[in-house]
């Protein structure tokens, strides 16, 4: 058989077409599609400056364009709409150099005007923005100065520690678009909202970011967020392949999923969240005076801390998906954690010695104080948290070995909050702290003795103990210093004082557990919120894998 | 006695005797935590496995049954006594008192019970032992659960008040408490008896509902409510069928009570 030149040309064209089709199908496998997951509650707002709940936070993260973004993996700040930025030495001013050629989802151009508009609206006291509260450093107005269409200086009345990181939460709004909050700079925009049912986010066609090959991000066409508060239903739908992600799952679900589909369950290690207990030290609290004396004794608090087996709590309650907690900062917080500190080991014998140093005595299996009062107290916790109830029961048994009688009381959340923050009618409490902010400034409302959330003895007119006065001083020092090293030194000392005095008895840091379908490619679950979709713009779907599930 | 009722009697008897002998049948107790084997499947050491913190589930079922079966009748007794006082007396007196009692009863029945129970439970002192918490929980149930029975009793007493034999007794000069105690109350006994038996399963289920919300009997003491709470989040029955034992026990005991009750109602 003879093949002439025309045939060769035809064959080569055919081969080219086949190769092109193959490459095209590969490319389609890498882009498009709809990612699906659940919001646990209805979003309260679509206004990015008024966001205060988890669902709205997720939407703001996916739709909002920010000047700088905290990389959820490296915990470093990265430029976004700002190409670069510069902080003044006194910590009062920040100058942003903005990216040019960027447009909102409705096509209106992005400029320094929009940043100025956003900051003015954010700092408007009438708006009552919790995001804006983080920027309030002192009396006086926040001023913005547009130095060029792509350059803006923002000046605050007093220094703000970690100022640049706060802009991770500020989604820039358009100053001129008639669509207001519907005009966004993030990778997705709100497409369709069915109250109580679902929310569809569509790809923002004007999103400025491109991948290394010059393809415009995001890869996904859309994200469907179903509003589903029932976690059982969420897990069932995930198993059926109707959902692609579960951002946060508890350890029971995690283990079941890991047993059936090990590749889908992701344990990113210790998160920033912590569970802890504390004693009521409020002077005016309606508790017996002798009990207040126990609770105000450092030896008593330290003894309780050392009598709790944190390894058992992690292993039994969280099936190993938690780490014994060290203090107010989780080891997951790479910069701010004081690595010199270690979690209190389980030392019941040492705990008893500490109690004996305070005049307590163990008699017939029961502990008595100097005056002969049997040591008995109640721990209140919220009825809706099974892990916390289990921890309370284990603490009850651990302390029982020291002769301390503990009564576990579970209350509905409003009653619990009323008791611990208004009436102070409780003895000890166990709760959790969901930390979303790496910077210690986010904890000012806890550590200052005058603060409302200074749980063990809030709203003190003047610090009642020397160590609380020292914490006040150190927290203010770190908040007013611009140098990160000096701030770290101050906050390390705060962590050490907390470890010595044990006003909060930290128990465990839960691991960040999530579930990601095998159809999802490019997801890298981490410990910082949003755990599974922090890089949503680079996530792709494999339709073949999804269809086979 | 029907065969079904005989069977129900046997079931209730066996459950009562077994739970009463919990100290001997399950000597490890309901509170001891075997922390090396949490959430374990059934074994020779733990017949129904262990719960989330390693406590023997068989022991907890026995002790929980004892508590629920002891205190639910006690609460039923309190509520029936209150119902007899309010409903029986109002029905006997009639007129204004009957209208007042019925209005008050209707108002009581219209209250949102679950929220009222949660509120009352939250108002109680915190530092009480688990045993006291059990007593308080069932006492609250007893004190708050009288209204439906009172409605029934007031109607029965009202009917009795106008009956011929009461008229004859009145005509013979019998009045006041003597008439109530000698003629009215004995004739209300079958209704009281039926109301008492109806209340027992209602209180067991109410405590179970409070337990599911985490507001029932305090830890580490078990009750059917706290045992049923373990079923939260159970996705597949096939994986851990032994966890269904408290639920099955509740169903069997409630059914037995209903069988016993149906016979009593015929009598009443």
- Given this model, what pLDDT does residue A523 score? 94
Q: Which of A452, A490, A487, A451 is nearest to A470 (CA)?
A: A490
In a domain, A163, yes or no: yes
Q: What is the pLDDT of residues B91-141, one digit of tens each?
A: 888 889 989 998 999 988 888 877 777 777 777 777 777 778 778 888 888
The pLDDT tens digits of the residues spanning A145-183 come to 999 999 999 999 988 888 999 999 999 999 998 888 899
For residue A252, being part of any structural domain is answered with no
**Does residue A198 share a domain with residue A80?**
yes
Is A479 a domain residue? Answer: yes
Nearest C-alpha neighbor of A433 from the set A448, A424, A418, A443: A443
Q: Is the domain of A410 the same as that of A324?
A: yes
Residues near B202 by Cβ (< 8 Å), separated by ≥ 6? B145
Residues of A in contact with B235 (CB under 8 A): 232, 235-236, 256
CA distance to partner chain B, nearest, from residue A250 (Å): 11
Residue A24 included in any domain: no
The predicted pLDDT at position A521 comes to 92
Res A26 pLDDT > 60: no
- Distance from the Cα of B38 to chain A's closest Cα (Å) equals 6
The pLDDT value given to residue A202: 97
Which tens digit of pLDDT belongs to each residue from A94-116? 999 999 999 999 999 999 999 99
For residue B232, list chain A residues with Cβ-Cβ distance below 8 A: 386
Question: Which pLDDT value is given to residue B235?
Answer: 64
Mutate to test the interface with A, among B127, B128, B136, B235 (most CBs of A within 10 A): B127
In chain B, where the domains are located? 3-22+50-267
User: What pLDDT is recorded for position A130?
Assistant: 84
Under DSSP, the state recorded for A276 is: E
Interstrand relation of A428-433 and A68-70 (parallel, antiparallel or unpaired)? unpaired
Q: CA dihedral in degrees (A283, A288, A293, A298; nearest 10)? A: -90
Helix (H) or strand (E) holding A188, with range, is strand A188-194
Residues A523 and A384 in one domain: no
The answer to whether residue A262 is domain-embedded is: no
Number of structural domains chain A divides into? 2
8 Å CB contact of A407 and B127:
yes
Within an 8 Å CB–CB cutoff, is residue B28 touching chain A?
no
Which region among A5-19, A246-260, B161-175 has the lowest average model confidence (pLDDT)? A5-19
Confidence band, pLDDT 50/70/90 cuts, at residue A352: very high
pLDDT the model gives residue B21: 92
Joined together, the tokens standing for residue B166 give: 């009461």
**Interatomic CA distance for residues A283 and A279, integer angstroms:** 12
Residue B86 in tokens: 């309010």
Q: ipTM > 0.95?
A: no
In a domain, A44, yes or no: no
What was the pLDDT predicted at A181?
85
CA distance A493 to A181: 43
Residue A483 is predicted with a pLDDT of: 85
Residues of chain A contacting B133 with CB distance shorter than 8 Å: 407
Q: What share of chain B is helix, strand, coil (3-state, %, to 5)?
A: 70, 0, 25
Mean pLDDT along residues A207-212: 94
CB contact under 8 A, A408 and B33: no
Does the CB of B220 have a partner CB in chain A at under 8 Å?
A: yes
Contact B220 A396 (CB under 8 A): yes
pLDDT at res. A481:
82
Task: Kindly state the tokens that stand for A345.
Answer: 């080991």
Instruction: Give pLDDT tens digits for A363-401.
Output: 999 999 999 999 999 999 988 788 999 999 999 999 999
Q: How far is CA B54 from CA B29, B30, B41, B233, in A?
A: 12, 10, 11, 18
Count other Cβ atoms within 10 Å, centred on residue A354. Answer: 21
The yes-or-no verdict on residue A199 having pLDDT over 60 is: yes
Considering only CB atoms, B118 lies closest to which of A231, A312, A412, namely A412
Average pLDDT, integer, range A341-360: 96
Q: Which of A252, A315, A383 sits opposite B233 (nearest CB)?
A: A252
Which pLDDT score, from 0 to 100, does residue A20 have?
Answer: 47
HEC per residue, A125-181: HHHCCHHHHCCCCCCCCCEEEEEECCEEEEECCCCCCCHHHHHHHCCCCCCCCCCHH
More confident residue, A323 or A136: A323
Does residue A538 share a domain with residue A407? Answer: no
Q: How many residues does chain A have?
A: 549
Distance CA A81, CA A77 (A): 12
pLDDT band at A447 (very low <50, low <70, confident <90, very high): very high
Q: What's the mean pLDDT when you consider all of chain A?
A: 90
B38 touches chain A (CB under 8 A): yes
Residue A246, pLDDT > 60, answer yes
Distance CA(A515)–CA(A513), nearest Å, equals: 7
* pLDDT for A17 beyond 50: no
> How would you class B79 by CB atoms within 10 Å of its CB: exposed for 0-12, middle for 13-18, buried for 19 or more?
buried
Decide if A385 is inside a domain: yes
For B4-58, write each residue's pLDDT tens digit: 889 999 998 999 999 999 999 998 899 999 999 998 999 999 999 999 999 999 9
A544 in the same domain as A506: no
Shortest alpha-carbon distance between residue B249 and chain A (Å): 23
Most confidently modeled range among A440-444, A477-481, B80-84: B80-84
- The pTM assigned to this predicted structure is 0.82
Residue A387's CATH number: 3.10.105.10
pLDDT at A530: 92
- Tell me whether residue A256 is in a domain: no
Shared-domain flag, residues A506 and A527? no
Name the residue in chain B with its Cα closest to that of A390.
B53
Which residues in chain A are closer than 8 Å to B225, comparing Cβ atoms? none
- Do A507 and A526 sit in the same domain of this protein? no
Give mean pLDDT, residues A192-210.
95
Range of the domain at A216: 50-227+518-548
* DSSP secondary structure letters along A199-232: EEEEE-TT---B-TTSPBSP--SEEEEEE---HH
Mean pLDDT of B182-188: 87
pLDDT of residue A29: 43
The string of pLDDT tens digits covering residues B193-231 is: 888 888 887 887 788 777 766 667 888 889 887 888 788
Q: Is B53 on the interface with A (CB under 8 A)?
A: yes
Portion of chain A with pLDDT greater than 70, in percent: 93
Instruction: Say if residues A119 and A39 touch (Cβ distance below 8 Å).
Output: no
- Whole-number Cα distances in Å, A169 to A70, A80, A165, A190: 9, 12, 8, 18
Highest mean pLDDT among A230-234, A472-476, B259-263: A472-476
∠ CA(B132), CA(B138), CA(B143), 5° rounding?
A: 120
Contacts of A487 (CB under 8 A, 6+ apart): A161, A162, A440, A478, A481
* CA proximity to A50, closest of A127, A108, A115, A116: A127
Q: Say which CATH architecture domain B3-22+50-267 belongs to.
A: Orthogonal Bundle (1.10)
**C-alpha A351, offset from chain centre:** 33
């Amino acid at each position: 058989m003879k093949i002439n030149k025309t045939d060769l040309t035809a064959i080569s064209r055919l081969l080219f077409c086949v190769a092109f089709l193959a490459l095209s199908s590969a490319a389609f496998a890498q882009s498009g599609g709809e990612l699906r997951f659940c919001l646990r509650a209805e979003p309260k707002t679509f206004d990015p400056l008024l966001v205060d709940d988890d669902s709205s936070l997720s939407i703001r993260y996916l739709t909002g364009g920010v000047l700088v973004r905290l990389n959820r993996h490296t915990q470093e700040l990265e430029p976004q709409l700002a190409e670069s930025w510069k902080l003044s030495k006194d910590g009062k001013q920040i100058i942003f150099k903005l990216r040019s050629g960027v447009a909102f989802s409705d096509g209106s151009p992005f400029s320094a005007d929009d940043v100025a508009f956003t900051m003015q609206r954010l700092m408007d006291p009438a708006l009552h923005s919790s995001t804006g509260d983080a920027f309030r450093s002192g009396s006086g107005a926040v001023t913005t100065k547009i130095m060029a269409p792509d350059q803006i200086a923002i000046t605050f009345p007093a220094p703000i520690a970690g100022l640049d990181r706060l802009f991770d939460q500020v989604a820039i709004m358009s100053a001129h678009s008639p669509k207001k909050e519907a005009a966004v700079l993030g990778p997705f925009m709100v497409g369709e909202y069915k109250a109580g049912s679902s929310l569809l986010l569509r790809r923002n066609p004007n999103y400025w970011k491109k991948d290394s090959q010059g393809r415009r991000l995001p890869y996904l066409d859309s994200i469907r967020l179903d509003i589903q508060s029932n976690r059982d239903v969420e897990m069932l739908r995930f198993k059926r392949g109707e959902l692609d992600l579960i951002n946060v799952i508890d350890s029971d679900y995690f283990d079941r999923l890991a047993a059936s589909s090990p590749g889908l369950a992701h344990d990113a290690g210790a998160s920033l969240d912590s569970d802890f207990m504390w004693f009521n030290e409020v002077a005016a609290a309606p508790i017996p005076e002798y009990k207040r004396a126990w609770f105000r004794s450092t030896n008593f608090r330290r003894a309780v801390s050392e009598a709790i087996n944190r390894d058992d709590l992690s292993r039994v309650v969280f099936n190993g998906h938690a780490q014994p907690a060290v203090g107010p900062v989780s080891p997951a917080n790479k910069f701010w954690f004081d690595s010199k500190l270690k979690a209190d080991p389980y030392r019941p014998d040492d705990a008893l010695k500490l109690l004996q140093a305070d005049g307590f005595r163990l008699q017939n299996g029961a502990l008595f104080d100097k005056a002969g009062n049997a040591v008995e107290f109640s721990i209140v916790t919220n009825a809706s948290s099974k892990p916390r109830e289990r921890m309370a029961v284990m603490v009850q048994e651990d302390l029982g070995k020291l002769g301390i009688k503990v009564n576990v009381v579970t209350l509905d959340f409003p009653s619990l909050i009323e008791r611990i923050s208004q009436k102070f009618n409780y003895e000890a409490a166990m709760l959790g702290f969901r930390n979303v902010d790496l910077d210690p400034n986010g904890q000012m409302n806890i550590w200052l003795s005058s603060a409302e959330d200074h749980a063990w003895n809030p709203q003190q007119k003047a610090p009642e103990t020397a160590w609380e006065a020292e914490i006040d001083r150190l927290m203010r020092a770190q908040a007013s210093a611009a140098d990160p090293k000096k701030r770290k030194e101050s906050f390390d000392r705060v962590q050490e004082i907390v470890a010595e005095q044990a006003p909060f008895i930290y128990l465990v840091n839960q691991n960040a557990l999530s579930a990601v379908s095998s159809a999802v490619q490019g997801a890298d679950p981490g410990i910082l919120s949003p755990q599974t979709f922090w890089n949503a713009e680079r996530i792709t779907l494999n339709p073949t894998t999804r269809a086979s599930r | 006695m029907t065969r079904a009722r005989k069977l129900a009697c046997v079931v209730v008897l066996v459950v009562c005797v077994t739970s009463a002998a919990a100290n001997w049948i399950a000597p490890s107790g309901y509170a001891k935590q075997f922390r090396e084997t949490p959430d374990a499947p059934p074994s020779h050491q733990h017949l129904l496995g262990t719960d989330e913190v390693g406590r023997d589930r068989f022991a907890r079922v026995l002790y929980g049954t004892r508590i629920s079966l002891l205190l639910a009748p006690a609460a039923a007794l309190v509520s029936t006594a209150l119902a007899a006082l309010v409903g029986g007396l109002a029905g006997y007196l009639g007129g204004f008192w009957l209208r007042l009692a019925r209005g008050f009863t209707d108002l009581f029945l219209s209250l949102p019970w679950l929220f009222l129970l949660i509120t009352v439970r939250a108002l109680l002192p915190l530092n009480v032992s688990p045993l006291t918490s059990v007593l308080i929980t069932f006492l609250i149930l007893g004190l708050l659960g009288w209204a439906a029975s009172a409605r029934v009793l007031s109607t029965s007493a009202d009917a009795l008040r106008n009956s011929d034999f009461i008229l004859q007794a009145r005509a013979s000069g019998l009045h006041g408490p003597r008439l109530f105690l000698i003629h009215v109350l004995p004739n209300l006994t079958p209704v009281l008896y039926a109301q008492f038996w109806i209340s027992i399963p209602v209180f067991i289920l109410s405590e179970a509902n409070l337990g599911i919300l985490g507001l029932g009997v305090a830890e580490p003491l078990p009750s059917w409510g706290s045992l049923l709470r373990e079923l939260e989040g159970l996705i597949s029955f096939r994986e851990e069928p032994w966890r269904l034992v408290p639920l099955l026990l509740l169903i069997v005991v409630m059914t037995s009570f209903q069988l016993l009750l149906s016979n009593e109602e015929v009598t009443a």
